[in-house]
Homo-oligomer: A and B are copies of this chain.
Amino acid sequence: MASVLRHSAKFTSGISSSLAACARNGTACAFPCHAFRHRNSSTSSKIRVDLDSSTGVAVMTLQGPPVNSMCMDFLTDFAISMEKLELDKNCRGLILTSAVPKVFSAGLDIMEMYGKGPEHATVFWRAVQEMWFKLYSSNMVTIAAVNGSSPAGGCLLALSSDYRIMADNPRYVIGLNEAQVGIVAPFWLKDNMVQTLGHRQTEKSLQLAQLYSAPDALKIGLVDKLVPEEKVLSTATETMAKWFSIPDHSRQITKSMMRKQTIDKFLSNRETDINNFANFVTKDSIQKSLGTYLAKLKKKKA
């Protein structure tokens, strides 16, 4: 709560400039913006939120080029946006999408894990957990409109939503490929994937760090639907209408019942998970592994 109140000034002051942003970038603004509030729209913002109070649908657009990587700023923005929407009685559903071409999100910003001490690791990992937890336990109907590649943390956003629509482009990939980089998906994300794909598919996917093309992702149930890229957002809107046809209270109780076990386990082991991560990621061997990966990335760009 505190964080929401602390940022309320920012929310208010951001409205005028985000109107301009909305006009500049019409494609990501799927809903008529008669009535909405943006949490902010400064050029430094990683996330834009457009809530249409007449439909009850908010669109959260990830807009952190080049790859919507999840740095601390992104995670903080995300958590605040979620809190705000969750408390807003006008908002019943949330669509997540990206304004960055070809990329939904490339996942966690490795710079937040490289060359930092255990204190930073602790703060960072708590924020990562919070992003997942807020989305996974949301009372809203949450739909991921995956209009680009979505590895690791990007896949986390999709998995924790209620429904996943992906652009029908075999060059876009999705999956939890953490093991490739020498790190490991946390248990709560593993539990989330097991619920979605089943145990066997998850065991293989995580151990082999598999990224699936959109068609393959549909085959194994990692996404629910493929549509042409230009229809991802409109299909999300149509799908939302279907979910809205069920009374909110019975849908919410059902969702909470379905996700209770995973949430309870997460909450009971949250601090242990943070400590494990901080110990693990600050190890010399893991730092070396991340360093090698970063060097590769730099070389690729150059």
Q: Hey, which bits of chain A sit against chain B, CB under 8 A?
A: 162-163, 178-185, 187, 190, 194-200, 202-204, 206-209, 221, 224, 242-243, 246-247, 249-251, 253-255, 257-258, 285, 289
| C-alpha spacing A247/B178, complex, angstroms | 11
Tell me the minimal C-beta distance from A203 to chain B in angstroms: 5
The reply to whether B257 and A184 contact each other, CB–CB distance below 8 Å, is yes
The reply to whether B289 and A207 contact each other, CB–CB distance below 8 Å, is no
Contacts of A242 in B (CB 8 A): 208
A259 to chain B: closest residue by CB: B203
Contacts of A243 in B (CB 8 A): 207-208
| C-alpha spacing A296/B122, complex, angstroms | 55
Tell me the minimal C-beta distance from A25 to chain B in angstroms: 32
The reply to whether B258 and A190 contact each other, CB–CB distance below 8 Å, is yes
| C-alpha spacing A203/B221, complex, angstroms | 13
A221 to chain B: closest residue by CB: B200
The reply to whether A185 and B254 contact each other, CB–CB distance below 8 Å, is yes
| C-alpha spacing A217/B253, complex, angstroms | 24
A201 to chain B: closest residue by CB: B221
The reply to whether A195 and B199 contact each other, CB–CB distance below 8 Å, is yes
The reply to whether B178 and A250 contact each other, CB–CB distance below 8 Å, is yes
The reply to whether B206 and A254 contact each other, CB–CB distance below 8 Å, is yes
Tell me the minimal C-beta distance from A162 to chain B in angstroms: 7
The reply to whether A184 and B250 contact each other, CB–CB distance below 8 Å, is yes
The reply to whether B200 and A250 contact each other, CB–CB distance below 8 Å, is no
Contacts of A162 in B (CB 8 A): 203, 207
Counting chain B CB atoms within 10 Å of each CB, which of A162, A221, A224, A246 scores highest?
A: A246
The reply to whether A199 and B199 contact each other, CB–CB distance below 8 Å, is no
Tell me the minimal C-beta distance from A261 to chain B in angstroms: 10
Tell me the minimal C-beta distance from A207 to chain B in angstroms: 5
Contacts of A247 in B (CB 8 A): 179-180, 182, 289
| C-alpha spacing A163/B200, complex, angstroms | 10
| C-alpha spacing A246/B198, complex, angstroms | 22
Our pick among B179, B200, B209, B254 for the contact of A184 (Cβ within 8 Å) is B254
The reply to whether B198 and A257 contact each other, CB–CB distance below 8 Å, is no
| C-alpha spacing A206/B243, complex, angstroms | 11
